[in-house]
Chain A
């Protein structure tokens, strides 16, 4: 079993699972809001095509949750908009 945190909650995953699959299994459906409408989004295509499942992993924004393999101890968090608000000026 692999354990990681998502927005501060502990989540377990099977080894080899993607962040997206693990979040889905844990009951989460969305972990991102859109830039314009602020609408919730999560997995859609499941294979890296749609870029809807963006998530922040260990501080890196913009990763596709469906393609990113989860590792023990990962710190995963929701992404607001472009996920780079620290650069906004």
Chain B
């Protein structure tokens, strides 16, 4: 076998699909089921809007292009891929000034960002609060249903000859005399592979440890609220300008900057909080109250809408908030594709594409240096 992917989440699925499509023989192992890790605990926003110019924005722009291609190849319906665009709302003069500055810099990088006035917003989002100062419209922002998208990509990979083994935990690595990885030790036995891709998401650090190549991937907890099903009441992904600050923050404490969006199923998703509290699965009422309050602030009609359920997940984050993508020079044969924090769904398409390019010896569309695994060593 050429490539063994650890993790059947969104990122592992995208790696498996792109590698299989590039003609490699692929096996995917996951200790759980298909897409039952963080991929089932988050949302499916594919955003360029929330990113500052830099390597992550470059990756996001590539990913948006790759998601379009995936939509054409696999079927937008099977991914619930929607080109709905994003709307960012500023609710004070300083926030609007900050947003205008950001959109200007984003445009210089190729982002389609349109500044809009308070008067333009009701046409974009009829149910939005009128208490706004202005905003920005990002037509490139999209959305998928993450579990469906991951399962559909794995399905497509299987059609291209890949095999997927769920309920199979990787417990160690096999090494050759030269110290290079030659396979893994899995619950079901040893498996040889030319390349092993670590797509274990939030557990990517643990897997890297098994190979003797530590990576600082840590959990950042987040809650999402789900409302009763409604007709289409929200057209875009809508969030406040404070969101960008929350995403990039280094604060360990709780942050909630709400993103509100409709889904094909009719439910409205309200996400998401950010907290560094380890793998604490407990429900936190103060957090969900805060998310509810902020969502009502954006869309007052939500006050009368019923909360159906809440769920949570643990984003895989690295200290510099960038993912780890590419071969690990410390352990030949080991390749990483993990640590995508709150953007792993969006960034997965580009990640899988770049990994396939690397493993087939092609020149990657993007310089992988900012994402290199050894950058943390010091």
Residues of A within 8 A of B (CB): 35, 62, 81-82, 84-85, 87-89
Question: Knowing A87-B231, A88-B232, A88-B233 touch, does A82 contact B266 (C-beta < 8 A)?
Answer: yes
Contacts of B235 in A (CB 8 A): 89
User: In chain A, what residue has the closest Cβ to B235?
Assistant: A89
Q: Which of A82, A85, A87, A89 contacts B229 (CB 8 A)?
A: A82
Across the interface, do B306 and A84 meet the contact criterion of CB distance under 8 Å? Answer: no
Across the interface, do A87 and B301 meet the contact criterion of CB distance under 8 Å? Answer: yes
Across the interface, do B126 and A89 meet the contact criterion of CB distance under 8 Å? Answer: yes
Question: Knowing A35-B266, A62-B306, A87-B127 touch, does A82 contact B230 (C-beta < 8 A)?
Answer: yes
Question: Min CB distance, B306 to chain A, in Å?
Answer: 7
Q: Within residues 185 to 219 of chain B, which ones have a CB less than 8 A from any CB in chain A?
A: none
Interface 1/0 per residue, B210-251 and A, CB below 8 Å: 000000000000000000111111110000000000000000
Across the interface, do B231 and A85 meet the contact criterion of CB distance under 8 Å? Answer: yes
Question: Min CB distance, B130 to chain A, in Å?
Answer: 15
Interface 1/0 per residue, B11-29 and A, CB below 8 Å: 0000000000000000000
Contacts of B127 in A (CB 8 A): 87, 89
Q: How far is the CA of A64 from the CA of B232 in the complex (A)?
A: 22
16 contacts between A and B (CB under 8 A): A35-B229, A62-B228, A82-B228, A82-B230, A82-B266, A84-B230, A85-B231, A87-B127, A87-B230, A87-B231, A88-B231, A88-B232, A88-B233, A89-B126, A89-B232, A89-B233
User: In chain B, what residue has the closest Cβ to A84?
Assistant: B230
Q: How far is the CA of A84 from the CA of B228 in the complex (A)?
A: 11
Q: Which of A35, A62, A81, A84 contacts B233 (CB 8 A)?
A: A84
Interface residue total, chain B, C-beta cutoff 8 A: 14
User: In chain A, what residue has the closest Cβ to B232?
Assistant: A88
Contacts of B231 in A (CB 8 A): 81-82, 84-85, 87-88
Question: Min CB distance, B122 to chain A, in Å?
Answer: 10
User: In chain A, what residue has the closest Cβ to B128?
Assistant: A89
Contacts of A88 in B (CB 8 A): 231-233
Q: How far is the CA of A87 from the CA of B304 in the complex (A)?
A: 12
Contacts of A84 in B (CB 8 A): 230-231, 233
Question: Min CB distance, A60 to chain B, in Å?
Answer: 8
Question: Min CB distance, A47 to chain B, in Å?
Answer: 18
Contacts of A82 in B (CB 8 A): 228-231, 266
Question: Min CB distance, B370 to chain A, in Å?
Answer: 40
User: In chain B, what residue has the closest Cβ to A81?
Assistant: B231
User: In chain A, what residue has the closest Cβ to B302?
Assistant: A87
Question: Min CB distance, B125 to chain A, in Å?
Answer: 8
Contacts of A85 in B (CB 8 A): 231
Contacts of B229 in A (CB 8 A): 35, 82
User: In chain A, what residue has the closest Cβ to B228?
Assistant: A62
Contacts of B228 in A (CB 8 A): 62, 82
User: In chain A, what residue has the closest Cβ to B301?
Assistant: A87
Contacts of A81 in B (CB 8 A): 231
Q: How far is the CA of A87 from the CA of B127 in the complex (A)?
A: 7
Q: How far is the CA of A85 from the CA of B233 in the complex (A)?
A: 9
Contacts of B234 in A (CB 8 A): 89
Q: How far is the CA of A36 from the CA of B266 in the complex (A)?
A: 10
Q: How far is the CA of A10 from the CA of B135 in the complex (A)?
A: 50
Contacts of A89 in B (CB 8 A): 125-127, 232-235
